[in-house]
Amino acid sequence: MNQNHSAIVSIAMQPSGRRSWTLVWLLAFVVVLLLLYAATARSATPDEGRDLALVGAKVCPTPRAFPIKNAAILIHDGKIVAVGPRDDVEIPKPAYVLDCSGRIITAGFWNSHVHFTEPVWSGAADAPAAKLAEHMQTMLTKWGFTTVFDIGSDPKDTFPLRKRVDSGEVPGPNICTTGVPIYPENGIPAYVPPKFVSLLKPFEAATPADATRIAKVDLAMDADGIKLFTGAIMGLGKITPMPVDVVRAAVVVAHAAGKPVFAHPSNHVGTDNALNGGVDILAHTIPIEGRFTDDELTQMKAQHTALIPTLTLWQVELERDNAPVAAQQKFVQAGVDELKTYFTQGGTILFGTDVGYTQHYDTTSEYEYMLRAGMNWRDVLTSLTIAPAKFFRAGHTGEVVPGAAGDLVVLDADPALDIRNYAKVGYTIRAGKIIYQK
């Protein structure tokens, strides 16, 4: 018998007069409790512009800093205003206090290679918010992503989706996008569904003038960067390269606007043309070649080119093609080795999974592959936080320090003990708002 039931039985057994007064006092007490609860809930909710305080966790201010144990973080107006030992941070009474004891807090994660091309995003301008929010959670916020870079999607879906997310209607990460990629002449990849090929034909660049025109179209739509297929996979072992002068023309337009350029390289020719054309990011490793050449690695480092490994992608692709397990392992290991060679040279590594093109949403295997490539938990955290924040000039979004954006990930377990714990997300917080809760 629970306490409430016992109290009711006790009252029922009292004399009628006494029972009446007892009921009156009990009802009054309940009403007061309800009013206090309503007032507290109203003042505490972080969704109404109130401060958010996270207390009790171990906080990693930056990947290289010493963690702060039993810490407190205070977020006001979407910005971090205080971080430190719990006893040193004054928390205002109206704040919403989130007990994070036993957990780990880092800056919000970036996924620097995603796509909003799945059917669920079609008609995003008018689709039910609940449907979009559900898949946003499945695909991104469940894994701690507070900022993503979409590098190829339909602008008529992605831009309205970004607007609805920014308004708070759909809980989700900050969305950066390149809009529609630029393809080489007759270079729409083989995996693009046939019904879309005719729509993408106007985005093929046969000449530098074409690349200039298309890049300006993308930027006019408020794109945050440009995506080039410098090596387009055509099937049956054929890869169509984008000529260097075409690459360079698009890069000139993007850099004049202060925007980054991503390249899908595929092979050595696609990589070399991308580097010689001045792109900023290689969106994949190139395991089809087995290794980057020494000249490529030197040029990548000299030009400060960033690399997004997308190692899980290779596993997913070969599994889909029913390749023998030994072939899968060899191919993935080639990508791991390419990551290792560039990382050990001090190259910039950005975390990215190509999710949206694939439906492998779980990030666990990507962390495992990065560990295999020689990256420890601090290195992986760098690729998730301060590396993309610095590379894309996004200010303090990659740090947990006063003045930084209130973008945080609350992990249920310590990645310093097991790299897979980066995928065990309890809360994802963007600008002081909880956008995912396990």
DSSP-derived secondary structure letter, 357: T
Say how many domains are in the chain.
2
Verify that 212 and 344 share a domain, yes or no. Answer: yes
pLDDT of residue 23: 45
Query: What pTM was computed for the model?
Result: 0.88
CATH number of the domain enclosing 192 = 3.20.20.140
Q: How far apart are CA 101 and CA 170, in angstroms?
A: 29
One domain for residues 267 and 374: yes
What does the pLDDT look like over 405-436, one tens digit per residue?
Answer: 999 999 999 999 999 999 999 999 999 999 99
Whether the pLDDT of residue 33 is over 70: the answer is: no
124's CB contacts (< 8 A; 6+ apart) are 116, 132, 157, 158, 160, 161, 164
320 part of a folded domain = yes
Burial of 437 per CB tally in 10 Å (0-12, 13-18, 19+): middle
- The tens digit of pLDDT for each residue in 362-414 reads 999 999 999 999 999 999 999 999 999 999 998 777 999 999 999 999 999 99
**pLDDT tens profile 249-294:** 999 999 999 999 999 999 999 999 999 999 999 999 999 999 999 9
Neighbouring residues of 362: CB distance < 8 A, sequence distance ≥ 6: 143, 423
Token digits of residue 48: 């109404």
Say how far apart CA 34 and CA 424 lie, in whole Å. Answer: 35
In a domain, 133, yes or no: yes
Residue 181, domain member (yes or no): yes
Range of the domain at 36: 3-44
Tens digit of each residue's pLDDT (9 = 90 or more) over 207-240:
999 999 999 999 999 999 999 999 999 988 899 9
- Residue 328 and residue 334: Cα distance in Å, rounded? 10
Residues 33 and 129 in one domain: no
Task: Tell whether the model's pLDDT for residue 42 goes beyond 80.
Answer: no
58's CB contacts (< 8 A; 6+ apart) are 67, 68, 69, 70, 71, 103, 104, 105, 414
283-300 pLDDT per residue, tens: 999 999 999 999 999 999
Residue 12 confidence class, pLDDT cut points 50, 70, 90: very low
